[in-house]
Structure 1
Amino acid sequence: MNALNQNRFNLVVGMVERGKQLGRTIGFPTANLNLVAGFTIENGVYGVYVYHNTKKYLGILNVGYRPTFKDGQHKTYEVHILDFAEYIYDEYLTIEICLEIRNEKKFKNLQDLISQLQADELFTRKNLIK
């Protein structure tokens, strides 16, 4: 899986916009990003650093069509920022992609998805330094 487009950026920038807020219902709230023109990322799940104002956070970025939720064919860029609970709608985030965790996948139920997200979080915390 080659995470980034042919420009080989490892940083992307996007504005946080309101989504369906499904992540918060399962304990993994996400910031839905509208990427700045020119940035693209292949579908998958990534361990990332998230830069907000002057602070750096660990995060898990999901790129794709959210097949478990079956809510359409629009590509989404969603980042779950670890140890973070601020209101950031209409603000810009810079995302540094560091680790390819796994491909996008459809789970048979929400509990399987939650278990995988917990494993993704542990993997990110173990492999990235805050």
Structure 2
Amino acid sequence: MTALLQLIEGKVRHGKRLGRTIGFPTANIATSASCIPTNGVYGVEVYLKNQLYNGVMNIGNRPTFNDGNHQTVEVHILDFQDSIYEEHMNVKIVFPIRPEKKFKSIEALIQQLQLDVQYARNQFKSKALRGVS
């Protein structure tokens, strides 16, 4: 998985709130970027309100939910609960996690998301220990 674009920016818009229902609320980014990276899951740094956060971003069509063939850009910010609708967000891709895929059930998706978040946490921790910015 190779990212074509390292920075995505846009406003946080209301989505279908599906992530919230499964324990992984996401910020849906309305971006005007014409060149979005390959569909998949990425570890990201989120710049929001002059603060830096770590997160996990999905770019794709959400095939497990089977809700249409439209591409979304969604970010789950780690350890974050604030309402940020209409806020401007910059998202820097730091590392790829996995390609997007369809899961057999919502439960299988949740299990994979838990693994994705743990992988991202480990990568960010390792990066911090190495002093990489």
1:107 aligned partner, one-letter code: F
Partner of 1:69: 65
Alpha-carbon separation, structure 2, partners of 1:124 and 1:58: 8
- Alpha carbons 2:8, 2:33 under 8 Å: kept: no
Partner of 1:98: 94
Partner of 2:2: 2
Alignment of 1:127 with 2:123, yes or no, is yes
Alignment of 1:33 with 2:35, yes or no, is no
2:124 aligned partner, one-letter code: L
2:7 aligned partner, one-letter code: L
Alpha-carbon separation, structure 2, partners of 1:58 and 1:84: 9
Alpha-carbon separation, structure 2, partners of 1:32 and 1:114: 18
Q: Between Structure 1 and Structure 2, which shows a larger proportion of helix residues?
A: 2
CA-CA distance at 1:46 after TM superposition: 0.1
Long gaps (5+) in structure 2:
129-133
Q: What does the per-residue CA deviation read over 1:46-95, in whole Å, with 9 as the maximum and x for residues that have no partner?
A: 00011101111110000000000000010000000011111111111100
| Secondary structure class of the residue paired with 2:70 | coil
2:104 aligned partner, one-letter code: K
- Alpha carbons 1:17, 1:33 under 8 Å: kept: yes
CA-CA distance at 1:38 after TM superposition: 3.7
Alignment of 1:78 with 2:74, yes or no, is yes
Q: How do 1:14-33 and structure 2 match up within 5 A?
A: 14-33=10-29
**C-alpha RMSD of matched pairs (Å):** 1.2
1:59 aligned partner, one-letter code: G
Q: Percent identity?
A: 52
Alignment of 1:89 with 2:88, yes or no, is no
Long gaps (5+) in structure 1:
none
